[in-house]
Amino acid sequence: MNEKILKLMERGSKVLGCKYAIMGGAMTWISESNLTSALSNAGLFGVLASGAMDGDLLKNELIETQKKTDKNFGVNIIVMNPKIHDLIDVCGEKKVSHVILAGGIPDKSIIDKIHSYGSQVIAFAPALAIAKRLFKQNVDALVIEGHEAGGHVGALSTLVLIQDILLNLKEYPIFVAGGILRGEIVASLLKLGAAGCQLGTVFACCKESTAHENFKKAFLRASGRDAVLPVQLDKRFNILPVRALRNVASDEFVEKQREVLEKFNKGEIVADNGKLSLEHFWAGSLRRAVKEGDTERGSLMSGQIVELVKEELSIQEIINRILTEAENFLNSNS
Ligand SMILES: Cc1cc2nc3c(=O)[nH]c(=O)nc-3n(C[C@H](O)[C@H](O)[C@H](O)COP(=O)(O)O)c2cc1C
């Protein structure tokens, strides 16, 4: 059973050190010890989100996660986090097998530092030239994540990234993210040379996710068309676009942007600080939705694939469904 799909997953499973080459993408506030360990215990690859943590918080969460699983899992660290070195040191101390660097392009010194602790490095690449450079700088694998994904997104769709990056760099392990759920797509991507896939939105509202009931219900009710990007107010001030279900928080973000822009225009803040304060807005707003269940004034970061997420399933049910769809597809096309 599932022989063909498992064979196709072998390469990615080896890179991650797990049974199925499927990563549960990190989601700030959602990917804590429970969801991360549950994903890894089910044979997938859980990724702990450190987006809203300092070194001490991460250390505690790592201790909790390691109590709940003896399987491999990763830690997602945001490159622009001013505490990046502390977070890497904690991962080194707790012997985390994989560090996933998101939200920017890491310097070689960061990659080397993680390697010096014996951990593997996975980074995100938004373009072919950057992907080539990162592999030259010895990253162990890359994630390419399309515009349809939930949370912070790049400019290009998953399909374009596949043709631009994956098909040109098949010799390297690349995981594909953004808008993926059905097994037929997972199987097709593996056949095209992907090492595996990363899924986020579907796990935000799975049974093992500790996100507030209201947050999950909003996802299950939503259409993919509700998962939109905020308006960018000024071309000179590039905001990092975040895909989320439209609600009051979407309007509040526009207001926040206006405030930051005014300060920037008056020379009261530099662009990087302005962007960081917008990031803090998102992190706080996401917390309000995930932890407190405020689905109006909290951010409901979600990918377009929410269109297909109609019931709260367990991780086991999700992976079984993916494997069955993939295997049937491979059998009917062999
Ligand atoms: C609620 C939410 C929060 C997210 N937070 C993060 C994060 O903190 N760091 C990160 O690298 N990606 C984050 N992402 C992206 C996911 O890790 C994953 O790559 C993405 O959801 C995959 O696409 P999909 O939503 O189409 O499944 C987040 C996504 C969602 C839906």
Pocket of ligand 1 (CB under 6 A): 25-28, 30, 49, 51, 76, 102, 145, 148-151, 177-179, 198-201, 204, 301-303, 305
Range of the domain at 281: 213-304
How far, in Å, is the centroid of ligand 1 from the Cα of 168?
25
CA nearest neighbour of 56 among 87, 25, 28? 87
b/e map of 167-191 (b: 16 or more CB within 10 Å)?
Answer: eebeebbbbbbbbbbebbbbbbbbe
Pocket probe for ligand 1: among 201, 205, 240, 307, the residue whose CB has the most ligand atoms within 8 Å is 201
Nearest CA owner, ligand 1 atom 3: 27
Q: Are residues 96 and 110 in the same domain?
A: yes
Q: Are residues 278 and 328 in the same domain?
A: no
Q: Are residues 235 and 144 in the same domain?
A: no
Structural contact between residues 33 and 64, judged by C-beta atoms closer than 8 angstroms = yes
Q: Are residues 180 and 313 in the same domain?
A: yes
CA nearest neighbour of 210 among 39, 73, 20? 39
Token pair listed for 117: 């602790």
Q: Are residues 73 and 182 in the same domain?
A: yes
Q: Are residues 141 and 273 in the same domain?
A: no
Q: What is the pLDDT of residues 259-291, one digit of tens each?
A: 988 988 888 888 888 887 888 888 889 999 999
CATH of the domain at 20: 3.20.20.70
Task: Give the neighbor-by-neighbor strand order of the sheet with 227-228.
Answer: 151-152, 242-245, 227-228
Q: Are residues 164 and 249 in the same domain?
A: no
How far, in Å, is the centroid of ligand 1 from the Cα of 45?
14
Nearest CA owner, ligand 1 atom 10: 26
Token pair listed for 136: 């030259």
Task: Look at residue 278 in the predicted model and tell me its pLDDT.
Answer: 85
Q: Are residues 203 and 131 in the same domain?
A: yes
pLDDT at 44 exceeding the cut of 70? yes
Number of domains in the chain: 2
Token pair listed for 82: 């001013």
Q: Are residues 40 and 169 in the same domain?
A: yes
Task: Look at residue 237 in the predicted model and tell me its pLDDT.
Answer: 73
Gap between the Cα atoms of 312 and 19, Å rounded: 23
How far, in Å, is the centroid of ligand 1 from the Cα of 90?
22
Pocket probe for ligand 1: among 28, 35, 159, the residue whose CB has the most ligand atoms within 8 Å is 28
Q: Are residues 246 and 202 in the same domain?
A: no
Q: What is the pLDDT of residues 1-16, one digit of tens each?
A: 899 999 999 999 999 9
Nearest CA owner, ligand 1 atom 21: 200
Q: What is the pLDDT of residues 139-166, one digit of tens each?
A: 999 999 999 999 999 999 999 999 999 9
Nearest CA owner, ligand 1 atom 5: 27
Q: Which residue has the higher pLDDT, 237 or 202?
A: 202
Helices assigned H by DSSP within the chain: 3-16, 33-41, 55-68, 84-93, 108-116, 128-136, 158-164, 183-191, 201-204, 213-221, 248-265, 271-290, 315-332
Q: Are residues 70 and 87 in the same domain?
A: yes
Q: Are residues 171 and 266 in the same domain?
A: no
Gap between the Cα atoms of 232 and 28, Å rounded: 23
User: pTM, whole model, 2 decimals?
Assistant: 0.96
